[in-house]
Structure 1
Amino acid sequence: MLVEAREAPEVVRRQLAANRDAVQALVTALRSRPPAYAVTIARGSSDHACTVLKYALETQLALPVASLGPSVHTLYGTRLDLHGALVIAVSQSGASPDVVESVRMARTQGALTVALVNVEDSDLARTAEFVLPLHCGEEKAVAATKSYLASLTAFLPVLAELHDDQTLRDALQGLPEHLTQTLALEDQARGLAERYRFAQDLLILARGLPYGVAQEAALKLKETSGIHAEAYSAAEFSHGPKRLLAEGVPVLGVTSVDAAQGAVSAAYAELRAGGADVRTLGPDPLSTLITPGTGHGVTDVVPTALGFYLFAAHLALHRGLDPDRPPLLSKVTKTR
C-alpha cells in the first residue's frame, strides 16, 4: 500500500502525457454532442472518485451529475432512457460484470460513454465508446491507492478544456510536484496516526469537492485497520449523527481552500468548542496535517487523498496490522 501510494507523482505525470490524444478526442465529441446531464457508474473506491468528479462537473461546468446503481439494470432489468447523457464508468480492473453491463446498456440507450480504467484490454474498456486509461501499472495492494488518485485526475484535463480553465491546466501540470511534496509529510502522517492507535470508531467529515476523499478515508480505515469509520457531510452532520459525539467518538475533518472553506472551518470550530476531539487534514493552513495547495480546488483533493493514505497505512502498522493483507478481502470484486 505504501509502495504504491509513493508512486503517485509518477503515475499522474505519466497519465497527463499519455492521455493527450484521448483527451482531445473526448473533448471534440463532447463539444459536438453536449450532454444535458452526466451519470457515473462505479463501486468502492472508484465510486468515491466519482463523488469528487460529481462536484467538479457541477461546480465547473454546471452539469448535473447522478450516480447510477448498476443493479437497476442487472438485477431489476430496467433499461434507462440515457439519451443525451454523459456516462462515466470508473474501475481499476474493468472486470466487474454489473458495471460493464450497465455501460453497455447506457451506450445502446444513446449515452456518450467513457471508461476510466487501468486495465486497457478489459471488458469495460472494450464496451465504452471512449477510454481514458489510468496508467497506474499493476496495482497489487488490496487497498487501492494509486488507482484512486489516478481516477481523480484522469477526467480533469477534459474538464479544463471544456471550461477553458488555464488555472486548472497549470494546476494539473504542477500536480506531480505537489504530490512529491506530500510524500515528504509521511513522518507527520505517522505521528497523527499514532493518536488513533486504539480507536474503534472514527467520524470523517468534509464538504464539497473533498467529500469523496472523506468517503474513501472511511472505507480505507475499515479495510486496513478494522475501524468503524463513517463519512458525513459537514453540513449534514448536525442532522442526527452529531449525537455520536456524546459517546466520545473522535472526528477527522477534511479541509479545503475553496468556496466551502469558511463554512467547513466554522463547523469544525463549533465542534471543538463543544468539546469534540477534532483533528483535520487538507490544504487549509489551520489543518493538523497540512497538505500542499495546488492552486485549484479541484486538484487540491489529490494531495489531500495521498496524505490520508500515508496516515491510514501507518495507523494500521501502529495497531500491529498488515494493511496489505486485510481479512476477508480480495483485490477484484466481481458483482453482478
Structure 2
Amino acid sequence: MTLTHDPLMLQEAREIPAVIERQLRENRAVTLDLLAALRASPPTYAATVARGSSDHACTVIKYALETQLGLPVASLGPSVHTLYGTELRLRGALVLAVSQSGASPDVVETVRMARASGALTVALVNVQESELARAAEFVLPLHCGPEKAVAATKSYLASLTAFLPVLAELSGSEDLRAALTGLPETLRRTLGLEEAASELAERYRFAENLLVLARGLHSGVAQEAALKLKETSGIHAESYSAAEFAHGPKRLLAEGVPLLGFAPVDAAREATETAFAELVAAGADLRTIGPGQGHLGGLRTPSTGHAVTDVVPSALAFYLFAAHLALHRGLNPDEPPLLTKVTRTR
C-alpha cells in the first residue's frame, strides 16, 4: 500500500510536544484545587480504572505513585461492579479513571460507585463534556484536541503526564518540576529520531511475533507497545517484565522470536541491562528504545532528568517506530481491521 500522505498516527504523534505544553499550562488551576483536596484528606491508597491504552497509562501512574509517594495502587476491574454488582469499599481512596473519550459505560459506572462510597475521584479525560467527566469529582483534561487515528498516541502520552504536576507538588521534587518544565522541548528533540525509528522498524518488517520487555516505570510503555504492534501491524506481540521473562517465556528464544526492550536510566537500569545482556548472550535478537542503551543498538531517547518523565519520550519514539513499521509492511496504521476508535464495554 502506498499512501499519498503521512498517516494520522504519525501526524498526531508529531503534535505531542504542543499537547503537553498546553496541558501543563491549562491545568494549573485544577491542579491547585486537587492538591488542596488531597492535602486536606490524604488518601491511604489509590486505585485506577481504565481499559486498553488508558489502562497501560495507569500502569505507569501506578509506578509513579508508588515510587515517588509510597502510595499503594491497585487496578480495579470495572466488571466487578457492572457485571457482578459488587459495591467496593473505597472510602479514603484516591481513584483515578483514565479515558480518551470518557464514554465507556463500565468505567463511568465504576467511578460513580467509587464516588458514592467516599473515594476522591479524578478523571483524566480528553472529552471534557463526557459522562466520565461528569461522574468524577475532579477532572484533569488531557487537552489533546480531536484524536482521529484509531491507534491512540496523543491521549496515551497526555494520560501519562496529566497527574504529574500534582505528583511533583505532593512529593516536593524540584527535579520533577524541572523535568516537567522542559518536557515539551525534550519531546521535540525526540521527534528528531523519526528517521532512525523508521530504519529500526525496517529490520522487523517480516516479524510475525515480537516480545516486548521492560522493568519498573517503563512496564506500562511495554504493554502499550505490544498492543500497538497488534493494532497497527498485525504482529502477535506480548509484553513481559524483563525479570519474569526468564521464568518460562525465555523458551521462545529457541524459536527465534525477536525482542524489543525498553532501556531506562533510573533505579531499574542495572537490573534491566543485566537481564538484556544475559538474553543477548543466549542468542536473543534484541534492540532497545529508551534513554539507557548500553552496548545494544536501537533508539536512544533524550533523558528528561527524572525517571517518571523519561517514559514519555520512550513512548513517543516507539509510536514513530510502530507507524513506520506498519508502512514498511505495506499497511495503513490508521485502518486496522475490525477496530473502531471508541469501544463501549459493560
Match of 2:246, SS state, is coil
Structure 1 segments unaligned to the other structure (5+ residues)? none
CA distance in 2, matches of 1:172, 1:195: 34
Contact 2:88 2:114 in 1 (8 A): yes
| 1:58-77 matches, cutoff 5 A | 58-77=66-85
TM-score (norm 1): 0.99
1:326 corresponds to 2:336: yes
CA distance in 1, matches of 2:29, 2:247: 46
Match of 1:249 in 2: 257
Match of 1:329, SS state, is coil
Match of 2:128 in 1: 120
Residue 297 of structure 1 aligns to which amino acid in structure 2? A
| 1:82-101 matches, cutoff 5 A | 82-101=90-109
Match of 1:188 in 2: 196
CA distance in 2, matches of 1:76, 1:70: 10
The alignment's C-alpha RMSD in Å is: 0.5
CA distance in 2, matches of 1:247, 1:295: 39
Displacement of 1:210 in angstroms is 0.4
Q: Give the alignment partner of residue 30 of structure 2, picking from 15, 22, 32.
A: 22
Residue 233 of structure 1 aligns to which amino acid in structure 2? S
CA distance in 1, matches of 2:33, 2:263: 35
CA distance in 1, matches of 2:129, 2:226: 31
> How big is each residue's C-alpha offset from its partner over 1:21-62, in whole Å with a ceiling of 9 and x where there is no partner?
010100110001100000000000000000000000000000
Residue 179 of structure 1 aligns to which amino acid in structure 2? L
Contact 2:197 2:321 in 1 (8 A): yes
Match of 2:247, SS state, is coil
Q: Give the alignment partner of residue 162 of structure 1, picking from 151, 154, 170.
A: 170
Q: Give the alignment partner of residue 261 of structure 1, picking from 260, 269, 273.
A: 269
Match of 2:210, SS state, is strand
Residue 171 of structure 1 aligns to which amino acid in structure 2? A
CA distance in 2, matches of 1:51, 1:120: 23
Residue 319 of structure 2 aligns to which amino acid in structure 1? Y
Residue 83 of structure 1 aligns to which amino acid in structure 2? R
Displacement of 1:285 in angstroms is 4.2
Residue 291 of structure 1 aligns to which amino acid in structure 2? T
CA distance in 2, matches of 1:112, 1:241: 39
Structure 2 segments unaligned to the other structure (5+ residues)? 1-8
Match of 1:311 in 2: 321
Match of 2:216, SS state, is coil
Match of 1:222 in 2: 230
Match of 1:297 in 2: 307
Match of 1:210, SS state, is helix
| Large movers: runs of 4+ above 3 Å | none
Q: Give the alignment partner of residue 234 of structure 1, picking from 242, 251, 259.
A: 242
> How big is each residue's C-alpha offset from its partner over 1:186-206, in whole Å with a ceiling of 9 and x where there is no partner?
000000000000000000000
Paired residues, what number? 336
Displacement of 1:239 in angstroms is 1.2
CA distance in 2, matches of 1:160, 1:27: 10
CA distance in 1, matches of 2:107, 2:275: 37
Contact 2:263 2:293 in 1 (8 A): no
Identity between Structure 1 and Structure 2 (%):
75
Displacement of 1:303 in angstroms is 0.3
CA distance in 2, matches of 1:132, 1:257: 29
Match of 1:335 in 2: 345
Match of 2:154 in 1: 146
Match of 2:4 in 1: none
Match of 1:172 in 2: 180
CA distance in 2, matches of 1:285, 1:70: 37
More moved, 279-288 vs 160-169: 279-288
Match of 1:103 in 2: 111
CA distance in 2, matches of 1:204, 1:89: 26
CA distance in 2, matches of 1:195, 1:315: 9
CA distance in 1, matches of 2:54, 2:189: 25
Match of 1:21, SS state, is helix
Residue 309 of structure 2 aligns to which amino acid in structure 1? T
> How big is each residue's C-alpha offset from its partner over 1:213-237, in whole Å with a ceiling of 9 and x where there is no partner?
0000000000000000000000111
Match of 1:138, SS state, is coil
Match of 1:213 in 2: 221
Displacement of 1:331 in angstroms is 0.2
Match of 2:5 in 1: none
TM-score (norm 2): 0.97
> How big is each residue's C-alpha offset from its partner over 1:122-179, in whole Å with a ceiling of 9 and x where there is no partner?
0000000000000000000000001000000000000000001111000000000000
CA distance in 2, matches of 1:243, 1:107: 45
Contact 2:99 2:125 in 1 (8 A): yes
CA distance in 2, matches of 1:183, 1:223: 22
1:45 corresponds to 2:53: yes
Contact 2:126 2:141 in 1 (8 A): yes
